[in-house]
A and B are shown apart, each in its own frame.
Chain A
Amino acid sequence: MTELLKLSWQPQLQSPSLVVGWSGEGSTLGAKVTDYLNKKLGGQSFGEIEPTEFFPLAGVTIEDDLVQFPESKFYAFPKNDLVVLRSDPPSYDWYRFLTLILDIAETCQVKEILAIGGMVSLSAHTAPRQLLGTFNSPELKEALSSYNLDREMNYETPPGQRPTLNSFFLWVAKRRNIPGVSLWVPIPFYLLTVDDPRAEKRVLEFLNRRSDLGMDLTDLDEEIKKQNVKLARARESSPEIDEAIGRLESNLTLSPEENQKLIREIEKFLRGKGD
């Protein structure tokens, strides 16, 4: 271990999965899922990666009056034979950062990596949430064949864009012979910066089955219901919002300006400012 890895204790685990959720990387999904696991199953923090080499640390950012500081924490769930990493995506030295995660994974004898990511969908929130998987190992792809998971994605990074951190992570893990899957849920673009409990539930259902976690997810149904009520209210109160979402439901696209406006309006409603 290097001095950049701080382990407070060594959890006793058999052959755990490592769930990785980034706070950021385009959506709140990774952080929401790892927070849910921690809250529901009582994850115990056992280590962290020091931020000094990977984040600018030029002051702090403030969100909703709260100080934000980069964190990369590992949590153990000995009863469930599970490890969770909740981390800010590093700003520099990505390869070294990912290597440190895999050092911990090897120490914990992790059998597989389940990395969570949200991706932008141009569909309406009323469409079902898909779960897609991209793998670094054909064996893991085969092992997950009975799961309700789209496993046949074809993709190349378009010019001008960069691969996601999860893609980089899976590639590094493959070099260390650790199988991994990146789990993607296409999230309606106007829910990316707020929460999408349906996407959250979709991932948690997968994790529940894969790691035999036995979590009761009915509280998420309640959240989904509440959000649907708010979204319905937003549509009722604004013919423009209703029309825009209606067009998305009919598989039509909106102009970039209409997209931005919808994002702003929905954010207002979901954050309680549009009631």
Chain B
Amino acid sequence: MGIRLYIEPKLQKPDLVASWPGIGNIGLIAADTLRRQIGGEELGEIEPWDFFYPRRVIIKDGILTDLEFPSNKFYYQRLAKKDLILFIGEEQPIDGGRVYAEGKKAYQIANLVLDVAERFGCQRVYTSGAAVALTRHTLKPRVWAVTSSESLIKEVKSYENTVLMSEIEGRGDWGSISGLNGLLLGLARKRGFEAICLMGEIPDYLSGAPFPYPRASKSVLEVLTNLLGIQISYDALDDWAAQMDEIIGGIYEKLPPDIKEKIEQRENVVRAKPEMITDEDKEWIKKHIDELFKKGGRGDDRAS
């Protein structure tokens, strides 16, 4: 069980951005887009066999020549303002049909990621994921943030289009982040790193949909790139988001008018008058929209 580094570049107090798949793959898409845009160089990997079942075997002329596992790679780049290490995990180590990683394996892999961060002198760790919100898909997703310390809370308040989780309407002052995107945050705090989780909003009625939600990834990236002091092109992400908008819009148009009306109210409600949607309404909408979107999504190949 270990880490394999391909090279050991000298990095100046880099930040770490780590991500695994989750709802809408919001964090994963953000991290991978960032990697492509900054030309992230391969740094190393976590040996996968202790954590994952292989995903592909190649047999040639009767000889097992290769067994491929989900990739768990580190990348790095020296940026003008900050050096950066990226960790991108293609799968969460999930046992026994769970949705997210938890328990021993999750703890082990999160610690390995932080071992690399420590080795290169990282002080700050970013994770990213989805914030399931009572919003609608035509609104620009906000970014919810949680941090590992009071001092970071002050910093986060200055980010654009970002709200602290406790500021979300109707949430109160508690919440949870499932899987490794959350666990890493806790472990980072335990091991003395500064840690911030940036979560892109996804409407609750899309949270069970089997497709990505790049609009929210873009919101996360806008915050991250600002923090890292870099500019990137969003063209590819915008094109992807436009394709997804078309798919989601197509399904949305098929919804009964009364349900659409309830969702459309959110445009005004979520940001200004949260009291207009009751808990009962929320339950009702979620229940019915989930059913309808499942029906619409199944027949659409682009969405799978």
Q: Do A and B come from one complex?
A: yes
A-side residues, CB < 8 A to B, are: 56, 91-96, 133-138, 141, 150-157, 162-164, 167-168, 170-172, 174, 182
* B61 in contact with A154 (CB, 8 Å): yes
* A163 in contact with B95 (CB, 8 Å): no
Which of B13-21, B48-56, B171-179 touches A?
B48-56
The residue in A91, A137, A171 that gathers the most chain B C-beta atoms within 10 A of its C-beta is A171
* B57 in contact with A154 (CB, 8 Å): no
Given A95-B50, A162-B55, A163-B57, A138–B63 Cβ distance below 8 Å? yes
* B57 in contact with A156 (CB, 8 Å): yes
Q: Closest residue to A159 on the B side, CB-wise?
A: B56
Residues of B contacting A91 in the complex (Cβ-Cβ under 8 angstroms): 95-96
From residue B10, how far is it (CB to closest CB) to chain A in Å?
A: 33
Given A134-B63, A163-B67, A167-B64, A96–B57 Cβ distance below 8 Å? no
Residues of A contacting B57 in the complex (Cβ-Cβ under 8 angstroms): 155-157, 163-164, 167, 171
Given A92-B96, A95-B49, A163–B62 Cβ distance below 8 Å? no
Total of A-B residue pairs, C-beta within 8 Å: 73
Taken together as a complex, chains A and B put the C-alpha atoms of A153 and B58 apart, in Å, by 10
Residues of B contacting A182 in the complex (Cβ-Cβ under 8 angstroms): 64
Taken together as a complex, chains A and B put the C-alpha atoms of A93 and B104 apart, in Å, by 11
Residues of B contacting A136 in the complex (Cβ-Cβ under 8 angstroms): 63-64
15 further A-B pairs in the complex, CB-CB below 8 A; given A95-B50, A156-B57, A157-B57: A56-B96, A94-B53, A134-B59, A136-B64, A153-B62, A154-B61, A156-B56, A163-B53, A163-B54, A167-B64, A167-B67, A168-B53, A168-B67, A171-B64, A174-B64
Residues of A contacting B62 in the complex (Cβ-Cβ under 8 angstroms): 133-135, 141, 150-153
From residue B4, how far is it (CB to closest CB) to chain A in Å?
A: 14
* B63 in contact with A141 (CB, 8 Å): yes
The residue in A94, A96, A137, A182 that gathers the most chain B C-beta atoms within 10 A of its C-beta is A94
Q: List 12 A-B contacts (CB under 8 A).
A: A94-B53, A95-B49, A134-B63, A135-B62, A151-B62, A152-B61, A153-B59, A154-B59, A162-B54, A163-B56, A163-B67, A167-B59
Ordered nearest first, which 5 A-B pairs have the shortest CB separation? A163-B57, A92-B95, A171-B67, A151-B62, A155-B59
Residues of A contacting B58 in the complex (Cβ-Cβ under 8 angstroms): 155-157
Taken together as a complex, chains A and B put the C-alpha atoms of A91 and B94 apart, in Å, by 11
Tier of interface size on chain B: 10 to 19
From residue A140, how far is it (CB to closest CB) to chain B in Å?
A: 10
Residues of B contacting A171 in the complex (Cβ-Cβ under 8 angstroms): 54, 57, 64, 67
Taken together as a complex, chains A and B put the C-alpha atoms of A239 and B56 apart, in Å, by 41
Taken together as a complex, chains A and B put the C-alpha atoms of A141 and B59 apart, in Å, by 13
Residues of B contacting A167 in the complex (Cβ-Cβ under 8 angstroms): 54, 57, 59, 64, 67
Instruction: Please encode chain B, from 26 to 59, with 1 for each CB lying within 8 Å of some chain A CB and 0 for all others.
Output: 0000000000000000000000011001111111
Say yes or no: is B119 at the interface (Cβ < 8 Å to chain A). no
From residue A180, how far is it (CB to closest CB) to chain B in Å?
A: 9
Taken together as a complex, chains A and B put the C-alpha atoms of A162 and B68 apart, in Å, by 10
The residue in B59, B67, B96 that gathers the most chain A C-beta atoms within 10 A of its C-beta is B59
From residue A112, how far is it (CB to closest CB) to chain B in Å?
A: 14
Taken together as a complex, chains A and B put the C-alpha atoms of A135 and B65 apart, in Å, by 9
Q: Closest residue to A96 on the B side, CB-wise?
A: B50
The residue in B54, B60, B64 that gathers the most chain A C-beta atoms within 10 A of its C-beta is B64
From residue B48, how far is it (CB to closest CB) to chain A in Å?
A: 9
Q: Closest residue to A98 on the B side, CB-wise?
A: B49
Residues of A contacting B105 in the complex (Cβ-Cβ under 8 angstroms): 93
Q: Closest residue to B50 on the A side, CB-wise?
A: A95
Residues of B contacting A162 in the complex (Cβ-Cβ under 8 angstroms): 53-55
* B96 in contact with A135 (CB, 8 Å): no
Q: Closest residue to A156 on the B side, CB-wise?
A: B58
Taken together as a complex, chains A and B put the C-alpha atoms of A152 and B63 apart, in Å, by 8
* A170 in contact with B64 (CB, 8 Å): yes
From residue B142, how far is it (CB to closest CB) to chain A in Å?
A: 35
Taken together as a complex, chains A and B put the C-alpha atoms of A111 and B60 apart, in Å, by 23
* B64 in contact with A134 (CB, 8 Å): yes
Instruction: Please encode chain B, from 90 to 113, with 1 for each CB lying within 8 Å of some chain A CB and 0 for all others.
Output: 000001100000000100000000
Residues of A contacting B59 in the complex (Cβ-Cβ under 8 angstroms): 134, 153-156, 167
